[in-house]
Structure 1
Amino acid sequence: MAAMSAEQPARFVVRIGVRSYEMDVNGHVNHAVYHQYAEHARMEHFRASGLSEDVLAGRELTVVLLSTTVHFRAELRAGETLEVDSEIAFTRRKPFTMSHRIRRIADRAGTPVDDLAAEVECTMGVLDVGTRRLVADPHARLSAAATEPALLGPVPD
């Protein structure tokens, strides 16, 4: 995980190997799988901060995806190694953003490379499961439940 200062959003990184069953008929990663890579990074980011699904459920909360956009930059193929980062940015509004960069860090032969494969932008919210409404001040609600709240980034201005 990269270091962060008080001014930086919280950034977290996971490593993923591209699997053969993720290929489409053209021999590269299917477009929907990029969304799955970002989802994996998001969930691992929350888990690392101490916000597992069970912890959130115990507080009658869940994190929901409101919208997502992927900008494809390069093809990915089976056997390559990726790093997917996850960056959270809160404001004073109920929705917050999580951004991801999917980078190829090794080709199929294991040779190190550094290629940006995709950028993913997600709008998220914290849902009160009882009222089925987004909570106000999601940063504070998540930080109160987290064991590592620094991974959620600074308090929004």
Structure 2
Amino acid sequence: MSSLKPIYVLNGPNLNLLGQREPEIYGRTTLADIDKLVSDKAGTLGLAVDCRQSNHEGELVTWIQEAREKASGLVLNAAAYTHTSIAIHDALATLDIPVIEVHISNIFKRESFRHHSTVSPVATGVICGLGVTGYELALDAIHRILTTN
């Protein structure tokens, strides 16, 4: 497993404010806490991760394109761009690696504009509403896909 390229874990806009922003929805866990959680989980699975966050759509697109050559899988919480970004959708459509869409909150229990995802049609799977545990579950899913295919 150690010969695999890292799993990219990409987080979109405003997720740098986790722990401060709307804790009644997102909890008190910070993005740094999530990065550590993800790194620890990856270690138990024999995987490496590369965690990144950006508030800029174009930077996320660039990283997704980079993942084509440099990653074995992708965990993506596109945040608000989930509902609006055709550019992220199109970049994801070029990948031939497992892509797991993650949302901390259950987007279907929130405002109606959050019920549509431009990411889901090009994702391997979707995890939402399970808090930060969703990131660990996403790594489990990618690990299983990579080791059974």
TM-score relative to the length of structure 1: 0.24
Judging by fraction of residues, say which structure has more strand: 1
Structure showing greater radius of gyration is 1
Greater relative contact order (Cα < 8 A, sep 6+)? 1
